[in-house]
Every structure is written in structure tokens, then in C-alpha cells.
Structure 1
Amino acid sequence: MGAQNIQNSRPIREICYLLNETCRHHGAVTLDIADLVNIANNAMLETTHQSTEYKYIRLKDDGVPHIAETTMKVVELVTSHLTYGWSPAELHFQYPHITMSQIYSALAYYWDHKADIDADIDRRLALAKQQQATAPPSIVAKLQP
């Protein structure tokens, strides 16, 4: 997302407003939205990404494959593909900020690294089940007979 798109985003403008109000309250210097966008962009650039042979896939510092220029992990897109049976076109419909090229690149990466990503999916599912088992009952569960 380019700086212009970020600047025109209502939630981003609201966050910037709240940030500036907090700065004013504490006597700190306030910044305009362009300065805040530049700070955010620079912070994102400081995160190192290792290139892969896939045009739209980057490995972050922790080795987790992400779709370039997004915050989405390959495993997240693949989980939607596998769980719902979504085609690349449907994935694009559901995640319009991800281009078709990025989607095909992520799916190609998945098929070439299937064992690793499937193991990551299994690990995430086991963690979710463990957290669910140890969490207190939800209010909805308490209300059911």
C-alpha cells in the first residue's frame, strides 16, 4: 500500500489523530500524517527479508515465508485455500489487496515446500487446540443448556 493510500485511510487517520493527542497530552512533539507514514514505512523497511526464488515470497528474519509487500504469511493464504477450497480467483476476491501473481507465487511456494508448511499448519492447529482446552469456558458455552 503506497503512502498516498495510507494517508487516505480513515482508520490510519484516526490512529494518527489519537497518537498526536497522546503526544500533546504528554508534552511531546506532534507529527503530521505524512511524517507518521514515513516513520511506519521506514520501520517496515528495517525488517530484513531474505529473497527467495519466488518473485512475491520473502522470508522474514524468523524464516517464515510472507507474501511480498503484505503482512500475510504464506501459511495463512494456504490455510484459506485448503480449508475452504478457494480457487486463486476466490482467494483474490476474499483478499483483494493480494494480486493474482502474489497468490500464484504463494501457492507455488506451498507446493514446493508442502511438508514444511503442512507441519506448520499442524503445529498451529495443535497450539489452538491446546489453548482452547486450557481456556475458561466462554460466556456462550455457559448459556447453553
Structure 2
Amino acid sequence: MRIVEGDEHSDGAPTIEGTGIRVEDIAVAHEQSGYEPDEITQLYPDLSLADVHRALAYYFDHIDDFRTDTSETASA
């Protein structure tokens, strides 16, 4: 699966194609909740380990965008 963006996917949030699971959800599980990638596959059984790694790679490649979006949401 690949990462997709657009209004038809979770209101434009980067999403793992065909799942409706947002990259941000995977990143929060990993960074804030401390789950390892293999544990995330247990939280989201529709994802393979490769999907989780792909989502985390996308997140870290675009981390400034995610942090900007989060701070704009918090200040609104």
C-alpha cells in the first residue's frame, strides 16, 4: 500500500491507501504512546509491518508539516 493525500482521504490527511488509517495516527502511537512498529500492527490489524514503516518514514520525512498542522489546530 502507499500513502495517499486528497480530500477523498480523511479530509486531506496523509492516509495509508485503502485503510482510512492516517499517517498521524501511526506516528502518535509510535512517538507519544511508545508502541514499536510490530505492536502497531496489533493495534491496526489491516496494516502490515511494511505499511507501518512506510507511514513512519513518510511522517519523519514530513515532520515539519505535521508539527505545523498540529500547532495551527491547537491555536485555533
> Shorter-chain TM-score category?
0.7 to 0.9
The one of 35, 47, 50 equivalent to 1:86 is: 35
1:70 match: secondary structure: coil
1:97 match: secondary structure: coil
2:5 match: secondary structure: strand
Match of 2:6 in 1: 60
Q: Tell whether the 8 Å contact from 1:75 to 1:121 is kept in structure 2 after alignment.
A: no
Aligned pairs for 1:16-27 (under 5 A) are none
2:21 match: secondary structure: coil
Aligned pairs for 1:1-145 (under 5 A) are 56-61=2-7, 63-124=12-73, 126=74
Q: Superposition RMSD on alpha carbons, in Å?
A: 2.0
Residue type of the partner of 1:94? L
Ranges in structure 2 where 5+ consecutive residues have no aligned partner: none
Greater Cα radius of gyration, structure 1 or 2: 1
Higher relative contact order structure (alpha carbons within 8 Å, sequence separation ≥ 6)? 2
Residue type of the partner of 1:85? G
What is the TM-score with the length of structure 1 in the denominator? 0.45
Ranges in structure 1 where 5+ consecutive residues have no aligned partner: 1-54, 131-145
Shift of 1:121: 2.9
Shift of 1:63: 4.1
Count of aligned positions: 73
What is the TM-score with the length of structure 2 in the denominator? 0.79
What is the aligned-residue identity percentage? 33
2:19 match: secondary structure: coil
Shift of 1:120: 2.3
Higher helix fraction: Structure 1 or Structure 2?
Answer: 1
